[in-house]
Amino acid sequence: MEKSNNSPFEGWGLGKLERPLVIAGPCSAESEEQVVETATQLKTLGIEVFRAGIWKPRTRPNQFEGVGISGLEWMKRVQKEVGMKVSTEVGNVKHVYDSLRHGVDIIWIGARTSADPFAMQEIADALRGVDIPVLVKNPVNPDLNLWIGAIERIAAAGIRRVGAIHRGFSTYDTTRYRNIPQWQVPIELKQKMPEIPMICDPSHMGGKRELIQELSQKALDLNYDGLMIESHFYPAIAKSDSEQQITPSELGTILNNLIIRDPSNDNPLLMLTLEELRHKIDVCDEKLIKILNDRMTIAEIIGSYKKENKITILQSARWKEVVEKIVEKGKKYKLSEEMINTIFKAIHQESINRQTTIMNKS
């Protein structure tokens, strides 16, 4: 992996300004030996920032919830003896104060916390007057405004170095990912807040070590600024998320195989070709919009018939049949089942909304 010198992390105290910034370390700090040994191996890869969870927010009680403050002492050893910056997650005001008192270099705010404006405001107030980089993970659900609001609260507290972490979004559906990427959400965030560095967390997104390479490459292809990857010197004994952690050696292989693409190009012939292709996409989009409008018009007519004949709007058996047929048709054109399901769920919901309006007209 050849790094680019174009980096938005200037002023973050991270030494060489290269893209992508890689933050790596175990899901959780479990022992002093584990923390120091993992950091030592990661340092040989040229990684500058070490991550480890000190407090682990667990969905249910009686699970490993982190070692607490003692882990921060181990992190100080990483700073002094290994020569790495250290980072950890904070979920409340006490975590903030403990992290600052122990000299943590970078803090991040997790998905559960970023979804709670009250918690975000309390953390922002605790950080007021402090000069430390803060990364904000996307909320559990794909709510762009909630993510933006969380970042704005931190920035409003006077924090100059703020970044975003995309770790995917929870879903009830069964997919190949632990948290589905929904790349369009971080892309829109980047459009609205272009000055904010964007970091991808492929470990939590995929939930499986075999997906890390693919997701990391996808993030870099979308011009992300960094990666946060969980790495443990012996993942098999990890107390949390062992299936998504990789050894430092495996991480080195992944990083060496990543391709860093230039976000821009000055070749006029290439740019002209891209413009022509983009114009063709615009034409396709125009056709799609018209077809969707035609489909909704038909759905409204069906809604009127249902109202006249006192038939319920939702016809589950019919919808199941439609989805199954369209997925099979999509396969013929190499369209992924995930994309087909996402698009047609949205179409189905819009049809229901329109038919509901018709049903409720007096």
Region 24-30 average pLDDT:
97
291 Cβ neighbours under 8 A, 6+ residues apart:
none
CA separation (Å) from 180 to 145, 172, 174? 18, 10, 10
Mean pLDDT score across all residues of the chain = 92
Q: Report d(CA 337, CA 345) in Å as an integer.
A: 12
In angstroms, rounded to a whole number, what is the distance separating the alpha carbons of residues 356 and 341?
A: 22
181 band by pLDDT with thresholds 50, 70 and 90: very high
Asked if the model's pLDDT at residue 2 lies above 60, the reply is no
Residue 5 pLDDT class (50, 70, 90 cuts): low
pLDDT tens per residue, range 220-263: 999 999 999 999 999 999 999 999 999 999 999 999 999 998 77
Question: Residues 227, 68, 232, CA angle at the centre, nearest 5°?
Answer: 40
Question: What is the rounded distance in angstroms from the CA atom of residue 310 to the CA atom of residue 304?
Answer: 10
pTM for the whole structure: 0.78
Q: What is the pLDDT of residue 1?
A: 63
* CA max distance for the chain: 77
Q: How confident is residue 97, by pLDDT bands cut at 50, 70 and 90?
A: very high
Q: Is the dihedral of CA 47, 242, 66, 94 positive or negative?
A: positive
DSSP secondary structure code for residue 139 in this structure = P
Q: What is the mean pLDDT of residues 287-307?
A: 93
- At residue 67, does pLDDT exceed 80? yes
How far apart, in Å, are the Cα atoms of 20 and each of 8, 91, 98, 254, 311? 10, 26, 29, 13, 56
pLDDT of 17: 59
| pLDDT for the residue 8 | 83
> What does the pLDDT read at residue 257?
96
Tokens of 354: 């329109």
Cα torsion angle, 335, 200, 98, 158, sign: negative
Residue 213, CB-side half-sphere exposure with 13 Å CA sphere: 12
Which superfamily, per CATH, for 268-359?
Answer: Chorismate mutase (1.20.59.10)
The 3-class SS string of 165-218 reads EECCECCCCCCCCCCECCCHHHHHHHHHCCCCCEEECHHHHHCCHHHHHHHHHH
pLDDT at residue 4 in the model: 56
Q: Which of 224, 217, 243, 246 is closest to 234 using CA atoms?
A: 246
Q: Are 23 and 237 contacting, i.e. CB atoms less than 8 angstroms apart?
A: no
For residue 186, cis peptide bond before it (omega within 30 degrees of 0): no
Give mean pLDDT, residues 155-175.
Answer: 93
Concatenating the DSSP letter of every residue in 271-306 gives: HHHHHHHHHHHHHHHHHHHHHHHHHHHHHHHHHHHH
The domain limits of the chain are: 21-257, 268-359
Kindly report which listed range (160-169, 244-253, 319-328) carries the lowest average pLDDT score.
319-328
| Domain 21-257 is found in CATH 3.20.20.70 | yes
Q: Please give the Cα distance from 182 to 144 (Å, whole number).
A: 11
Q: What is the mean pLDDT of residues 72-98?
A: 97
Token pair of 299, please? 């759905």
- Please compute the mean of the pLDDT values over residues 15-44 and round it to a whole number: 92
pLDDT surpassing 90 at residue 159: yes
- For residue 168, how far is the Cα from the chain centroid? 4
| Position 276 pLDDT exceeds 90 | no
Mean pLDDT within 172-198: 91
Residue 16 confidence (pLDDT): 61
Tokens linked to 186: 């971080």
3-class SS at 88? strand
For residue range 34-66, list pLDDT tens digits in order.
999 999 999 999 999 999 999 988 777 877 888
In terms of Cβ atoms closer than 10 Å to its own Cβ (0-12, 13-18, 19+), residue 41 is: buried
CA count, 13 A, side-chain hemisphere, 141: 6
Place 21 in a pLDDT band, splitting at 50, 70 and 90: very high
**pLDDT exceeds 90 at position 197:** yes
**What percentage of the chain reaches a pLDDT higher than 70?**
96
Judged by DSSP in three states, 50 sits in strand
Distance CA 29, CA 32 (A): 8
